[in-house]
Amino acid sequence: MCGRYASSRRPDDLVTYFEVEQPPEQVLEPSWNVAPTDPVYAVVQRPSGRQLRVLRWGLVPSWSSDAKGAARMINARMESVKDKPAFRKAYATRRCLVPADGYYEWKPEGAAKQPYFLADRDGAPLAMAGLYEHWKSSDGDWLSTCTVITTTAPDELGEIHDRTPLLVPRDQWARWLDPEVPDPGDGLLVPGTPGVLDAWPVGKDVGNVRNNGPHLVAPVP
């Protein structure tokens, strides 16, 4: 799964990299410890163009009676995303890309767990496949949320964790984001590709959501 990630790039850089036509109305502070229910950037496609929006991480289905379960829906499994009621509608019409510098996983080592940071080998932002939804509270307030789709990790990463975010190749961004394409999964909903990510151990400070800063992604012996 992906339960923590880093997102420190400026919105202007994300706008350029993801070929966004409409920049976000809200600017987020850089974060090296993005946690469930935090506000995050997401790339979406609307009739007016490709947008960089701010959503809350942890999907709340439009039919949900409340938003309390959002922290449990930060991930959607690739194998069931088309059919599971919480994600089915969003998969059909509201897919997004969630940019990240990289993400964290914890590997059991004896009685403890060692955190690792996983990032693109070339240093490019990760384009994590996601879904987004709009939910209206009983008070009439709207909440826009998202989730990250996960897939099986390639063998080289499997010893750290058996799941990894589903990454969308650049040449498939338009098809994945297009709300007129009801099922772009053919060739995209696949196991993780070997040779894309590097992984290195990092300090255990990342385990506390109150800790932040670039030191969290620095390798440790």
Superfamily (CATH) of domain 5-206: SOS response associated peptidase-like (3.90.1680.10)
- Per-residue model confidence (pLDDT) at position 92: 95
* pLDDT-above-70 percentage for the chain: 99
In 3D space, the residue among 48, 1, 39, 40 whose CA is nearest the CA of residue 20 turns out to be 48
2 pLDDT above the threshold of 90: no
5-7: strand order across its sheet: 31-34, 5-7, 102-109, 112-120, 197-201
- Per-residue model confidence (pLDDT) at position 221: 85
- Per-residue model confidence (pLDDT) at position 96: 98
- Per-residue model confidence (pLDDT) at position 71: 72
Q: What is the pLDDT of residues 152-167, one digit of tens each?
A: 999 888 889 999 999 9
- Rounded to the nearest integer, the mean pLDDT of the chain is 94
Q: What is the pLDDT of residues 65-99, one digit of tens each?
A: 887 776 789 999 999 999 999 999 999 999 999 99
- Per-residue model confidence (pLDDT) at position 1: 64
| Whether residue 2 lies in the annotated active site | yes
Domains of the chain by residue range? 5-206
Question: What DSSP assignment string belongs to the chain?
Answer: ----EEE-S-HHHHHHHTT-SB--SS-PPPEEEE-TT-EEEEEEEETTEEEEEEEEES---TT-S-STTGGG-SEEETTTTTT-HHHHHHHHH-EEEEEESEEEEEEEETTEEEEEEEEETT-PPEEEEEEEEEEE-TTS-EEEEEEEEEEEPPHHHHTT-SEEEPBPPGGGHHHHH-TT-S---TTTS-PPPTTSEEEEEB-GGGGSTT--SGGGGSB--
Q: How far apart are CA 100 and CA 84, in angstroms?
A: 25
The residue from 25, 29, 105, 156 that is catalytic is 105
- Per-residue model confidence (pLDDT) at position 138: 80
- Per-residue model confidence (pLDDT) at position 70: 64
| Whether residue 96 lies in the annotated active site | no
Residue carrying structure tokens 């307030």 = 141
